[in-house]
Structure 1
């Protein structure tokens, strides 16, 4: 029987952290501690702790008794208005967590870091595709690179190891998350339908036809645990994707059919702008369809949608390294989208 392990999930209420927690709940040899700013209700195998990870003193006070932690899974993220401003808070959360747990958890075995394609400069414009884990770094600022550099230096001479997971856009359900494309598409479709409109792709010219990929949150959870528990994965980074590629010009009609909608020609628009006045419509829809009482700002991630729909260049990475080392998970992307929309309906997030 495998030795019991204790996971500390940093950012446990997000799409990534929440799905990771649910996956670990299904495994008999794990217990889970979730960290977040707003905390949560501890149930079953999951204990939630509310902590300000930007405050070293609060970290020490709240985490000092976590002596049994064996694995840190860092999936926390704080949004800021500029790339430079992202560095300090997102690096500080990782540093404060790792340095605090190192002091108290003698059996710490692994630190898992969640990254993304910003490592490859994907947020700056067209980048080399397929991107591979050994690509050269680009001009900073970039907090993902700073976080990895911290882990590499901190791990030297230690018994614990690290891994870095690099998914594409992560698709899953979670409210209050600033980077949730499924919520963007689901709300945009539901509101368009309510207004009697066709489902128009709102992205930049060219984005409708480019080649890209996504990462299912459940698949990512399985890959994250795999990388954290297999010795051949120690101290390395891995691209984790569904395993297929798509273009919006094929995916968009499938999404429209799910919502029983017609499509129309793409029309570039800023969702952040055109959806800013839709809180009243959302309130009306909640009452009309008996939806869960989430505030509009908790379910709308329009700025993130604008970013994704602006990619008028190919956006994908090479996921073969993980397969070569033993992870063979695969998810069909069109089925993933439809499954997440069904889950959103079951949770009464959309009608």
Structure 2
């Protein structure tokens, strides 16, 4: 199947962007992937390497992309604190839109990838289930700052926007600062190599709190749906797998997958205690002929610490998307095991 739509995927090498490109390619779109590292072109996908913090470089790279009909924005710039996230992330989105929009007369839609930070989930216990209609919270918060920019920019224009709000995303990507599934798999592999049981390393309360995840494939389908469904124009949608779980129930199943014993949870700061495991990882790479030798590319310890610190419920109401017509779902346990299988198939973990 082919169509005349041209997608610009910003953040093309991340967990979200890479899976979205796969989905667009399967649906017959022409795709341009934008990232710092670029990528390997294929028949319907070509990549551009651009530093989006550089306004002039972004302008030079994008102003010739006159046939782009849809922008899918999933780029992210990390910072040392929450307030510091606002300026670079708003700037990158602004640079993309202002470089492309004036020269793409057929632009139909801009899709913005957000998350539960919109609801203050990163600050502490918040109202659950979170709904798209919930009141905002005290800024700074870059997700909402980006959305407000799009809302202002869209006034009087023929294109529309959508805001997609997943939970923790499960997918395949290396060198990504927010890849929880791969980090769990690496943590389990190292624990097994050390001959110790698989202990949950988070806060005690986090072991029993309710949470959810979002499969990257399901997220890609939902993002494409919202970008092409007229009723979804200028709307925000929570997108999640559709089930809830507790680590106290999921952790023993993860241990069983890796053929490991479990022991009672023990709070750890993974960013610290896993910092000296690079040499051990290199031994595993050689022993199992693994494909990725860079220890820093396979684990996101800082992000895992963040997720495992949630000693409060972390979930949102996904019914709005269903009411508007998107009905896909996936079981989180099945998603995790499928990802672990994929990591092994690609020889990323033993």
| C-alpha displacement of 1:294 | 3.5
* 2:106 pairs with 1:107: yes
1:179 is matched with which residue?
A: 178
Query: Structure 2 CA distance, aligned partners of 1:15 and 1:112?
Result: 16
| C-alpha displacement of 1:3 | 4.8
| C-alpha displacement of 1:140 | 0.9
Contact 2:203 2:310 in 1 (8 A): yes
| C-alpha displacement of 1:156 | 0.2
1:317 is matched with which residue?
A: 316
- The equivalences for 1:1-351 within 5 A come to 3-28=3-28, 30-351=29-350
Query: Structure 2 CA distance, aligned partners of 1:4 and 1:256?
Result: 47
Deviation per residue, 1:164-210 (Å, 9 max, x gap): 00000000110010011011100000000011011000000111000
| C-alpha displacement of 1:2 | 8.0
Aligned length: 350
Query: Structure 1 CA distance, aligned partners of 2:194 and 2:339?
Result: 23
Contact 2:2 2:27 in 1 (8 A): no
| C-alpha displacement of 1:103 | 1.4
Q: CA RMSD in A?
A: 0.9
Query: Structure 2 CA distance, aligned partners of 1:23 and 1:145?
Result: 26
Structure 2 stretches of 5 or more lacking a match? none
Q: Secondary structure at the match of 2:93?
A: helix
Question: Which ranges of 4 or more aligned residues in structure 1 deviate by more than 6 Å?
Answer: none
Q: Secondary structure at the match of 1:72?
A: strand
Q: Secondary structure at the match of 2:80?
A: coil
Deviation per residue, 1:118-151 (Å, 9 max, x gap): 0000000000000000111111110001000000
